[in-house]
Amino acid sequence: MPIEFTFTPEQEALRSAVRQFLEKEVAPVVAAMDESESFPEATVRRMREEGYFGVPIPEEYGGLGLGKVGYCILLEELGRVDASHGAIVGAHTSLGTTPLLSYGTEEQKRRWLVPAARGERLLAFSLTEPGSGSDSGAVQTVAERRGDGFVLTGTKIYVTNGREADTVIVMAGTDVKLGPSGGVTAFLLDKGLPGFTVGRCEKKMGLHGTSTAELVLDHVEVGPERVLGEVGKGFHVAMTALDVGRVSLGAASLGGIDAACAQALTFAQERTQFGLPISEYEAIQFKLSDMAMHAHALRFMVYHAAARQDRMGPDPKKWGRLERAQKTREAATIKCLGSEWASEAIDEALQIHGGLGYIRGTPIERAYRDARISEIFEGTNEIQRLVIARDLLARGL
Ligand SMILES: Cc1cc2nc3c(=O)[nH]c(=O)nc-3n(C[C@H](O)[C@H](O)[C@H](O)COP(=O)(O)OP(=O)(O)OC[C@H]3O[C@@H](n4cnc5c(N)ncnc54)[C@H](O)[C@@H]3O)c2cc1C
């Protein structure tokens, strides 16, 4: 059985439709969005209309039914054009719709997943708190039992889409002493619930089209229908979402490397110094070769992992222990390598542009600011290396 793989005609059609759409509708607005630091409402609305907020979700739940491979194609294409649009779709899809599909009851899927996959409602995911970042099981937001429901109190931070989302998947401690092993539960909180408000939104070095919001929960009362997955098993919910998120981040990084390489290649062939195009100098050629090598390797890694996740399906009860461990290690590897390779490629592409690369408003300058966060969010790269090392020590290579 050959290990070579190719995209289906349907996947190729998705790529070409997305590429056309992004070039025509998104690329022209990105510089102004970045400068004004505003959420790109008009293009997000158009992406919703195109079905891009439900690419991996089965058609019976309102999505396009194109799986994780289709979703990674979308994220790769977004990564070529604009990281903010990629992060908006990623927070909604990887971190919002994935856990609903994997852990939602049929009723929850009808109520929250279907409108989200159709793009009628925007989702966000909220794990991080002021005192709980990498140590994500140490959440201090509490969910106390009241009758058959809960009362949530606490402060969450750094929530992508937090300002605009209609529904946020919030991790809260139902038994803070137990931490991640049985003490954290996932809740579906709609904006407008009494006591649930958006606090400050951060100013950032990049991703200017996204909101990064604080969420304040002041005695938010919820019924049992808002518990996603089992009580105390919120960490499984979060990790399932992050396994998908980390592979799709790799896809977005791949798009970032492709775009950086293309821009650097064009510039190097046009820019003449010492009587020759700078592309004639080996020092420049080697930088371009490194970008191409990393893009080649990352492409195989991303789509191999996405195809594996498609093969495993969305039901966690059907995943074997080994398969689950392999999926998690693979996702951590792709997120870590992909983000570092993208940062490196964009840095070198900026260097190839010389002084022009440092001038505000050039695509490579924006990409440089946007790319840095991929080494930090969805688990820092130090944490990815810990995940990989723990699995390595437990299972070997
Ligand atoms: C723009 C943006 C968007 C975000 N979006 C979301 C979102 O949508 N939802 C959400 O829940 N969160 C989100 N986050 C939060 C993000 O996931 C966290 O910032 C990240 O996980 C790191 O947590 P921290 O900032 O608290 O850093 P810390 O955990 O305090 O880490 C500080 C440093 O210490 C290192 N470190 C920590 N522990 C160890 C260890 N055991 N071994 C070695 N090194 C260690 C880290 O790697 C890092 O370098 C977002 C953050 C940003 C900036």
Residues 6 or more apart from 372 whose CB is under 8 A from it?
205, 206, 343
Tell me: pLDDT of 22 over 80: yes
What pLDDT, on the 0 to 100 scale, is given for residue 1? 64
What pLDDT, on the 0 to 100 scale, is given for residue 5? 81
132 lines ligand 1 (CB under 6 A): no
In tens, the pLDDT along 147-204 reads 999 999 999 999 999 999 999 999 999 998 898 899 999 999 999 999 999 999 999 9
- Residues that are catalytic: 378
316 lines ligand 1 (CB under 6 A): no
Arithmetic mean of pLDDT, 104-131: 98
Q: Closest residue (by CA) to atom 6 of ligand 1?
A: 159
> Residue 201: enclosing H or E segment and its boundaries?
strand 196-201
What residue ranges define each of the domains in the chain, with the CATH number in brackets?
9-122 (1.10.540.10), 124-228 (2.40.110.10), 234-395 (1.20.140.10)
59 lines ligand 1 (CB under 6 A): no
377 lines ligand 1 (CB under 6 A): yes
Mean pLDDT score of the chain: 97
Q: Closest residue (by CA) to atom 45 of ligand 1?
A: 382
Give 359-362 contacts, CB < 8 A, sequence gap 24+.
361/31, 361/35
Proportion of the chain in helix, strand, coil states, percent, rounded to 5: 60, 15, 25
Q: Closest residue (by CA) to atom 23 of ligand 1?
A: 133
Q: Are 66 and 56 in contact (CB under 8 A)?
A: yes
What pLDDT, on the 0 to 100 scale, is given for residue 129? 98
Tell me: pLDDT of 20 over 80: yes
133 lines ligand 1 (CB under 6 A): yes
Query: Helix axis angle, 234-270 relative to 282-312, nearest 10°?
Result: 150
Ligand 1 center to 377 CA (angstroms): 6
In tens, the pLDDT along 238-255 reads 999 999 999 999 999 999
Q: Are 360 and 368 in contact (CB under 8 A)?
A: no
Ligand 1 center to 285 CA (angstroms): 35
Could you tell me which residues are beta bridge partners of residue 45? none
φ/ψ of 65, rounded to 5, equals 65, 30
Ligand 1 center to 17 CA (angstroms): 35
Closest ligand 1 atom, residue 135 Cα: 29
Q: Can you read off the two tokens belonging to residue 394? A: 């437990």
What pLDDT band is residue 4 in, cutting at 50, 70 and 90?
confident
Q: pTM for the whole thing?
A: 0.98
Arithmetic mean of pLDDT, 220-240: 97
